[in-house]
C-alpha cells in the first residue's frame, strides 16, 4: 500500500478504483479504535470504538430487505430517490443564497440603509459557515447525519424568516449569521450523506448532481433575485427559502433512516474545542475579510485580530490534544492522503477568487458588458464543471485519484496562464471560452480528490474528513480574497498614479462607462490576479506530487443491495 501513515486499521485495497472487493470485512473493530494507526492516531475511547463503523443512511424497508451494519451504502436504489431529492433541495438553499442576495443589495440598502457595512451580509454568512463546518462534521460522526442535517435546515429556515423580518441593517446582518450557522450543516452533511449512500463506483453520479445544483443556481440566482427585488419585495428573497426548505425537511425526516446505534456510554461532545475553533476562525476570517477594506492591513485592528487568532489557535491545539474526542482530531493532518487533499483544495479555494470575484468586474469595465451578460461569461464555467466531474470516474478508475487530479489542475494552470494573453479589449467569447475550459479542468480536479479522500475513511470518520476538506477550501477563498484584493489594488494604484482601487472602479461603473485609462488599469490588475491564481494552481500541483500518495488507500466496500 502506497500511502504511508494513512492506515486506520481497516481493510483497504491498494487500487484507487472500487475493484472486485465486494464483501470485505469492515465490521466493528476495523476502525481506529482497535489499532494504533500508521498516522499516530492513538487509541480511541470506548465510545469511539462502538461508533467506528456506524450505520448506513438509507435502510431497505421492504421486500425482505435487512439492515446493513457495515460502512457501505445500503438500501436499494428505489429508496434513494426521495433522499437525493432532499439533498439537492438542501444544496439549492445554500447555493442560491449568495447569488440571489447579491442582486438585491441596492434595494436592501435603499430600504434599511447601512451602505457602509452591507458587505457583512456576505461576510457574516461566510464566517458562520466556515467556522461551523468542522464542528458539524464531528457531530455527524458522533450522533449521525440525520439529526445534524435536520438541525441545520431548521436553523437556516429560522434565519431566513428572521432576515425577512429585519428592521435595520444590523439586525439583517445578525440574522444572516444565523442562516450561516445552518448553512455550515447543509454544506458538510449533504456531501457526507451522498458519500454514505453511494459506493465508490457510483459516487460521481450523485456528486455531479449536487454540482449541477450549484451550476443552475449560478445562472438562475441573479435572475430570481432581480425579479423578486424589482417586482415584489427584497424580503421575498428570504421567504422563498421556507417552502423549499420545508419540503427538504419533510423528505429527510421521512425517508432518511438510520438504524439504531450500538448502546454504550453517552458520547462526549468537545464543546470547549468547538468554541475555541469558532473563536479562532472568527478572528482570522474577520481579519482577512476586513483587512484592506475597513482598515489598513498594518493598522491596529488588523494586527490585533491576527494576534488574537494566533493565540486562539494555540489555545485550540492545547484543548484538542487533551480532549477525549476532539472536534478536529490530529489524524486529519497526520494522514498523508487527508492532509494533502486539504491543502490541494485550499489552493483551489485560493485560485477560484480570480474568476468568481474579478471576472465580472473585468467583463463590465473592460468589455463593456451589462451585469447579466457579465454573469453569463462567468456562468459558463459552472456548466462544464459538473459535466467533466460526472465523467471523471472513467479516468480515475484507470489512472487513480491523484493522477486524475493532477491532470485536471495541470490543465487549469495552463488555462489560467492563457487569460493574460487575451487581447485588449477583446471579445466576450474569449474570456467565456477560458471559463468553459477552466470549469472542465477543475471538474477533473476537485471531484476525484473529494471522492478519493472520502473512500479512505470508515463511516465514523467520514463527516470529520469531509468537513475538514470543505473548511480548508473556505479558508482558501478567504485568504484569496484578501491576497488578490490587495494585489489588484496595488496594480490599480500603480497604473492610475497612486489614486485608484477597486472602490473607484465600482463607482465608475455605477456612474457610467469608465474611461480608457481606468479600463486598461482594470485589465492589468485582473491579469495579475489570474497569474496569482495560476501560482495557486502550481502550489496544488506541488502538493499532489510531493505529499499525496500515488495510490489512495481505499477501504474495501461491499456492494449495495439491489
Q: What is the 3-state secondary structure (H, E, C) of 473-541?
A: HHHHHHHHHHHHHHHHHHHHHHHCCCCCCHHHHHHHHHCCCCCHHHHHHHHHHHHHHHHHHHHHHHHHH
Query: Is position 212 within any domain?
Result: yes
Overall average pLDDT of the 256-282 stretch: 77
Residues 415 and 541 in one domain: yes
Residues 217 and 128 in one domain: yes
Q: What mean pLDDT is reported for the chain?
A: 78
Q: Which of 53-62, 297-306, 453-462 has the lowest mean pLDDT?
A: 53-62
Residues 412 and 466 in one domain: yes
Domain boundary among 287, 306, 324: 324
361-372, pLDDT tens digit by residue? 788 888 887 766
pLDDT band at 24 (very low <50, low <70, confident <90, very high): very low
Query: Is position 315 within any domain?
Result: yes
Counting the structural domains of the chain, the total is 3
Q: Which among 440, 428, 349, 355 is positioned nearest to 390, based on CA atoms?
A: 440
Query: Is position 7 within any domain?
Result: no
Residues 369 and 499 in one domain: yes
The domain containing residue 516 runs over which residues? 331-555
Residues 101 and 171 in one domain: yes
Q: What is the pTM of this model?
A: 0.76
Residues 292 and 181 in one domain: no
Helices (H), 165-270: 169-197, 203-231, 236-239, 241-255
Query: Is position 314 within any domain?
Result: yes
Please state the length of the chain.
562
Residues 223 and 252 in one domain: yes
- CATH number for the domain spanning 227: value is 1.20.1250.20
Helices (H), 400-428: 401-418
Residue with more model confidence, 534 or 46: 534
Query: Is position 487 within any domain?
Result: yes
Q: Which among 434, 436, 416 is positioned nearest to 527, based on CA atoms?
A: 416
Query: Is position 433 within any domain?
Result: yes
Residues 224 and 151 in one domain: yes
pLDDT band at 403 (very low <50, low <70, confident <90, very high): very high
Q: What is the CA radius of gyration of the chain?
A: 23
Residues 400 and 474 in one domain: yes
Query: 203 by DSSP, 3-state: which?
Result: helix
Domain boundary among 235, 258, 281: 258
pLDDT band at 54 (very low <50, low <70, confident <90, very high): very low
Residue 294, pLDDT > 50, answer yes
Residues 351 and 310 in one domain: no
Residues 337 and 486 in one domain: yes
Residues 343 and 282 in one domain: no
Amino acid at each position: 500500500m502506497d500511502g504511508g501513515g494513512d492506515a486506520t486499521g481497516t481493510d483497504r485495497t491498494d487500487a484507487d478504483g472500487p475493484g472486485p472487493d465486494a464483501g470485505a470485512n469492515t465490521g466493528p473493530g476495523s476502525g481506529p479504535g482497535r489499532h494504533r494507526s500508521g498516522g499516530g492516531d492513538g487509541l480511541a475511547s470506548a465510545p469511539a470504538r462502538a461508533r467506528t463503523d456506524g450505520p448506513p443512511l438509507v435502510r431497505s424497508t421492504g421486500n425482505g430487505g435487512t439492515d446493513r451494519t457495515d460502512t457501505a451504502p445500503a438500501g436499494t436504489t428505489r429508496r434513494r430517490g426521495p433522499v437525493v431529492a432532499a439533498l439537492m433541495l438542501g444544496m439549492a438553499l445554500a447555493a442560491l443564497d449568495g447569488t440571489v442576495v447579491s442582486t438585491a443589495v441596492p434595494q436592501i440598502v435603499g430600504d434599511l440603509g447601512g451602505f457602509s457595512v452591507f458587505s457583512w451580509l456576505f461576510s457574516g454568512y461566510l464566517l458562520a459557515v466556515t467556522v461551523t463546518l468542522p464542528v458539524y462534521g464531528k457531530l455527524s460522526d458522533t450522533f449521525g447525519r440525520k439529526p445534524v442535517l435536520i438541525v441545520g435546515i431548521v436553523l437556516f429556515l429560522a434565519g431566513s424568516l428572521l432576515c425577512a423580518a429585519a428592521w435595520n441593517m444590523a439586525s439583517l446582518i445578525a440574522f444572516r449569521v444565523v442562516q450561516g450557522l445552518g448553512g455550515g450543516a447543509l454544506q458538510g452533511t449533504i456531501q457526507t450523506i451522498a458519500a454514505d449512500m453511494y459506493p465508490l463506483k457510483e459516487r460521481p453520479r450523485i456528486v455531479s448532481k449536487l454540482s449541477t445544483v450549484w451550476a443552475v443556481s449560478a445562472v438562475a440566482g441573479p435572475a430570481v433575485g432581480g425579479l423578486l427585488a424589482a417586482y415584489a419585495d427584497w424580503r421575498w428573497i428570504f421567504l422563498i427559502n421556507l417552502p423549499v426548505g420545508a419540503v427538504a425537511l419533510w423528505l429527510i425526516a421521512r425517508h432518511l433512516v438510520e438504524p439504531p446505534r450500538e448502546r454504550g456510554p453517552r458520547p462526549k461532545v468537545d464543546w470547549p474545542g468547538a468554541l475555541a475553533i469558532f473563536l479562532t476562525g472568527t478572528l482570522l476570517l474577520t481579519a482577512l475579510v476586513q483587512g484592506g477594506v475597513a482598515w489598513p492591513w498594518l493598522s491596529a485592528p488588523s494586527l490585533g485580530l491576527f494576534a488574537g487568532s494566533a493565540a486562539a489557535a494555540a489555545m485550540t491545539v492545547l484543548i484538542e490534544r487533551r480532549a477525549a474526542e476532539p472536534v478536529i482530531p490530529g489524524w486529519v493532518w497526520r494522514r498523508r492522503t487527508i492532509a494533502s487533499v486539504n491543502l490541494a483544495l485550499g489552493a483551489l479555494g485560493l485560485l477560484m477568487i480570480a474568476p468568481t470575484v474579478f471576472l465580472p468586474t473585468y467583463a463590465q469595465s473592460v468589455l463593456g458588458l451589462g451585469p447579466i451578460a457579465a454573469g453569463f461569461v462567468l456562468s459558463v464555467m459552472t456548466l462544464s464543471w459538473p459535466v467533466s466531474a460526472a465523467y471523471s470516474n472513467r479516468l480515475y478508475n484507470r489512472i487513480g485519484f491523484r493522477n486524475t487530479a493532477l491532470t485536471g489542475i495541470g490543465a487549469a494552470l495552463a488555462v489560467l496562464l492563457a487569460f493574460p494573453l487575451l487581447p485588449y479589449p477583446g471579445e466576450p467569447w474569449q474570456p467565456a471560452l477560458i471559463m468553459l475550459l477552466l470549469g472542465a479542468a477543475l471538474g477533473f480536479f476537485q471531484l476525484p480528490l473529494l471522492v478519493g479522500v472520502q473512500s479512505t475513511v470508515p463511516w465514523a470518520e467520514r463527516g470529520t474528513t469531509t468537513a475538514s476538506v470543505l473548511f480548508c477550501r473556505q479558508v482558501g477563498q478567504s485568504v484569496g480574497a484578501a491576497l488578490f484584493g490587495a494585489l489588484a489594488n496595488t496594480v490599480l494604484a500603480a497604473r492610475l498614479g497612486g489614486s485608484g482601487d477597486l472602490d473607484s472602479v465600482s463607482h465608475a461603473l455605477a456612474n457610467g462607462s469608465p474611461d480608457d485609462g481606468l479600463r486598461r488599469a482594470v485589465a492589468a490588475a485582473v491579469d495579475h490576479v489570474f497569474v496569482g491564481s495560476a501560482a495557486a494552481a502550481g502550489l496544488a500541483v506541488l502538493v499532489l506530487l510531493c505529499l499525496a500518495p500515488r495510490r489512495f488507500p481505499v477501504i474495501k466496500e461491499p456492494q449495495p443491495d439491489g
